[in-house]
Amino acid sequence: MASPKSIGAAEIEQAIQRLGAAIRQRHPRTPPILLGVANGGITLARRLAALRPGTPCGVIDISFHRDDIGRHPIPKEFAPTHIPCDVGGATVVLVDDVLHSGRTVKAALDELFDHGRPAAVELAILVDRGGRRLPVAADYCGLTLAAADGERVAVVLDPENPARDAITRRPR
């Protein structure tokens, strides 16, 4: 059965709730530090943190660790790394919207370790689209969406109005 071409706000909200519950279940006493990978994971990280008050939440920018920076310069919507507390000895959950090749996760790990040495690093993903080129797997996954190499999976999480959230699959 083919994956749908789009996913609406209600299904996205259910996926976010599942992600939050899974993180709480694994970390019942002390919430981990959530770091949204700029720019796609920022809104998702903030929504996950809001599900559990007191959860530290920040941003991790991978611009300077990307292996394709020569072909894709730093975006204009640059969001610098902001880590709200010391990562040394802490559990950190990297949060991103789509997991594809694994290169973004590798870059996020490089940036994270520039700021300290966490006790553990986990990965929360809204959409796993497959197609890995590095040995990376998500610890928490909201949705799985089969997409061909020639397709793009676009996630829009509206920070002001979650009813406008959408995930689409379309040709590149």
**pTM of the model as a whole:** 0.93
Nearest Cα to Cα of residue 102 among 130, 123, 133, 72: 133
What does the pLDDT read at residue 1? 47
Whole-angstrom Cα distance, residue 164 to residue 162? 5
Domain 6-67+80-171 part of CATH 3.40.50.2020: yes
The whole-angstrom distance between residue 52's C-alpha and the CA centroid of its chain comes to 17
In this prediction, residue 75 carries a pLDDT of 59
Per-domain boundaries in the chain: 6-67+80-171
Range 158-162, long-range pairs (CB < 8 A, 24+ positions):
158/43, 159/43, 159/46, 162/9, 162/12, 162/13, 162/47
Spell 138-161 as b/e; 16+ CB within 10 A means b. Answer: bebbbbebebeeebebebebeeee
DSSP state of 135: S
CA 14 distance to own-chain centroid:
16
Q: What is the pLDDT of residues 31-62, one digit of tens each?
A: 999 999 998 999 999 999 999 999 999 999 99
